[in-house]
Structure formats: structure tokens, C-alpha cells
Amino acid sequence: MATLTQAVTARLDTMVRRFDEIEVELANPPGGFDQAKYTALVKERSQLEETVRAYRELCGIEREIAENETLLRDGDAEMRELAQEEVGALRERLERIEDELKSLMIPRDPNDDRDIFIEIRAGAGGDEAAIFAGDLARMYMRYAETAAMKTELISESESDAGGYKEIVFAVKGAGAYRSFKHESGVHRVQRVPATEAQGRVHTSTATVAVLPQVEDDGEIEIRSTDLQIDTYKSSGAGGQYVNKTESAIRITHVPSGVIVASQQERSQTQNREKAMQMLRAILAERKRREQEEAMGSIRRSQVGTGDRSEKIRTYNFPQDRVTDHRINRNFGNIRGIMDGALEPLVEDLLKDERARLLAGETAVTA
């Protein structure tokens, strides 16, 4: 029968009971309708629904197997033959649904559905690194668009040769962090720059940081006395208007040395709000890293120095190959990938994450 451990089965039984309780409460809310409670219940139900469905399907398959095994013992020859075929098919289904349940039981990243900031900086390689940073920004924006997400430019520092020394933009939509969280790190490109007369392949890098947005709920304490706020004339969206007023905001968090900026809105108030959102996201990420390191967690490397040797992915144009070094896999169609066709890479990285988490959970419960 099913190979789920007793502890896992107990957890699943608890989830089913809770799911049924929510169904009853949504149909007949005690004490009248409460919008906040209703929203919370709907969200909790949504989180449980897929797992409960799979577990109920598994229980149904187990009952069918038990019934057919009874026929194998007590039925006539013809019935035993039919039951044997049925049991074989049911066991295959049981194995598939068990695998699905194990994946569903993996702890969900609480940040997966958060909106994010993506910060891209040119690394080693001079002008070509800045151009590559621009290519990465375009790649991510195109991918977000195909995934029905919205992007919003926060700040940019353009390079004279094209591309960006630094660019920061927000990505908003369901599963934004889930889709982009594995992009943090150093990306390396190998190609012949347009300015290379000898046709030599150059290597350049850009660093990517993906930061989940956090609510201003007091979790990250930012004292106004710790902030140095400067205004300047924006060169971003808004045409001539923004160049006549100091609408752009630069905020320095003095204790940490973190500097953030927003220049795309027409008003200082709007730019200040976005800069503060970015600051909270950066400080929350630092806090998370410190907590993980204090617990001795093994974590994947994030943004390093931008040196060519610190890489998570290589984009090799002459060989039409993108290599993700963390999962040791190559992908073709580099032009398509740079045009936003990131889905195969994203899915493989998420599969790797699930496999590692499941292995950790198995080790703990063994």
C-alpha cells in the first residue's frame, strides 16, 4: 500500500479535517459575515485544496486496491484475471499520486507570492558588462510579460555605451518571487561584442539581486533618525517636467550603509514611498541571511563581487548554449531565452528546489 509515513498520514488527516471545517464556516459563517475573516479562510482553503484533493484520491485508490485484492483471493478465474490487471493499473496510479503528495507536502516558501524588486548591476567587462545588464533586464521584463506580471521601473543609471551600470525595477503579479528567486547571483556572458573588430569572444558579468517586497508592519524597524534623504533632478520618465524639479529621491540608511533611489515618479512623495519599499526589502533580505547563517544553514550564494569566477549561469552565444551551473544543465535557443523564454530554466530550478527540500524532509522524518 502507500509508503507515506505514519507522521505524514497524520498531518494529511489533520489537513482534511481543517479543510472540511473551513468549508462549513464559509457556507455558514458564525456571528455574521466578516470580510477580513472570510478572505483569510478563502486563502487558507486555497492553500489546502490541492493537497486534500490528492490525499482523498490516494485514499480512494487504496480502497479500490483492497477490493480487487479480495477478488484475487475469493473470485473465480476470470474475476481474478480482471482483478490482477486492475491492481497493476491502480498501483501505478498510487505511485504517481504519492509522488505528487510528497511534493505538495514540501514546506512552501512564504515569499513565493510576494511582489519583488530586481536589481541588476554591471560587473566585470566594462561597456560590454553594462550592455549585458541591459540584456538581462529586457529578458526578465519579457518573461514577466509572458507570465502576466507587470514591471515597473524604479531607478536606472544608463551607460554611455548602452545598457545600464545599474537598473532596479519591480515585478508584480502572482508567484513573482517564486518565478524569479533563483535568478540571484552572478551571470556571465561569452560573446563577440559589436565593437570588437577582431571577432574575439569577450567574457563579461552582471550581478542580479531578487528581493521580495515586505510590508511596512514593523517587522523591519527603520528609524527616521537613521535616514539621510537627498533629492535630485530625475532623468527618468516624465519628460521635461521631471528635469525641472528635484522629484527623485535617494535614501541612505546610515547604520547599514544601504543606498536606494527612486526617480521614475513625478512626485517626491511617490518616489520616497518606492525607495522606502526597496530599503525594507534589502534590510529584510539581510536579516534573513543573518538568521540562516546563525543557524548554520547551507544557502545558495547570492550576489558576490561581480568577478568572472563567481557565476551561477553562463550565456555562451558562439555555442548557442545557456548553462546553469547549480543544476549542471545546458539549454539551447539562447536568442529565445534572452528574449524572455525562461520557462524551462525556471521550471528546472524549481524542480531542483523541490527535490532538495523533499530530501531534507525525508531525512528528518526517517
pLDDT, one tens digit per residue, over 107-148 is: 778 889 999 999 999 999 999 999 999 999 999 999 999 999
Please state, in angstroms and rounded to a whole number, the distance separating the CA atoms of residues 290 and 103.
28
Which strands sit side by side in the sheet containing 227-232, from one edge to the other?
A: 227-232, 248-253, 258-262
pLDDT of residue 360: 59
What proportion of the chain, given as a percentage, has pLDDT over 90? Answer: 49
Contact (CB, 8 A) for 247 and 235: no
pLDDT of residue 288: 79
* Helix, strand, coil distribution of the chain in percent, nearest 5: 50, 20, 30
Phi, psi of 77 (to 5 degrees): -60, -45
Phi, psi of 318 (to 5 degrees): -60, -30
CATH 3.30.70.1660 range(s) for the chain read 116-215+224-354
pLDDT of residue 245: 64
Query: How sure is the predictor about 247, in pLDDT bands with cuts at 50, 70 and 90?
Result: confident
Q: Is 6 exposed, middle or buried (0-12, 13-18, 19+ CB in 10 A)?
A: exposed
Number of neighbours of residue 297 by Cβ within 10 angstroms: 9
Q: How far apart are the two ends of the chain, measured CA to CA in Å?
A: 18
Please state, in angstroms and rounded to a whole number, the distance separating the CA atoms of residues 95 and 193.
51
- Joined grid coordinates for residue 184: 540571484
Query: How sure is the predictor about 31, in pLDDT bands with cuts at 50, 70 and 90?
Result: confident
Please state, in angstroms and rounded to a whole number, the distance separating the CA atoms of residues 295 and 289.
10
Please state, in angstroms and rounded to a whole number, the distance separating the CA atoms of residues 359 and 298.
14
One-letter identity of residue 354: R
CATH 1.20.58 range(s) for the chain read 6-104
Query: How sure is the predictor about 296, in pLDDT bands with cuts at 50, 70 and 90?
Result: low
- Joined grid coordinates for residue 325: 551551473
Q: What is the DSSP letter of 225?
A: G
Q: Is 57 helix (H, G, I), strand (E, B) or coil?
A: helix
Please state, in angstroms and rounded to a whole number, the distance separating the CA atoms of residues 351 and 330.
15
Q: What is the pLDDT of residues 55-75, one digit of tens each?
A: 999 999 999 998 888 888 776
Query: Which residue has 498520514 as its cell numbers?
Result: 9
Q: What is the DSSP letter of 224?
A: G
pLDDT of residue 85: 82
Domain 6-104 maps to which CATH number in 1.20.58, 1.20.272, 3.40.630, 2.40.50?
Answer: 1.20.58
Query: How sure is the predictor about 334, in pLDDT bands with cuts at 50, 70 and 90?
Result: very high
Please state, in angstroms and rounded to a whole number, the distance separating the CA atoms of residues 325 and 314.
8
Which strands sit side by side in the sheet containing 150-158, from one edge to the other?
A: 150-158, 164-172, 116-122, 202-212, 185-191, 313-316, 321-324, 329-331
Contact (CB, 8 A) for 324 and 299: no
Helix axes 35-74, 77-104, angle to 10 degrees: 150
Q: Is 325 helix (H, G, I), strand (E, B) or coil?
A: coil
Please state, in angstroms and rounded to a whole number, the distance separating the CA atoms of residues 327 and 320.
18
Contact (CB, 8 A) for 48 and 22: yes
Domain 116-215+224-354, what fold? Alpha-Beta Plaits (3.30.70)
One-letter identity of residue 230: D
Cβ-count burial 325-349 (b if 16+ within 10 Å, e if not):
eebeeebeebeebbebbbeebbebb
Number of neighbours of residue 249 by Cβ within 10 angstroms: 26
Please state, in angstroms and rounded to a whole number, the distance separating the CA atoms of residues 313 and 218.
36
pLDDT of residue 294: 60
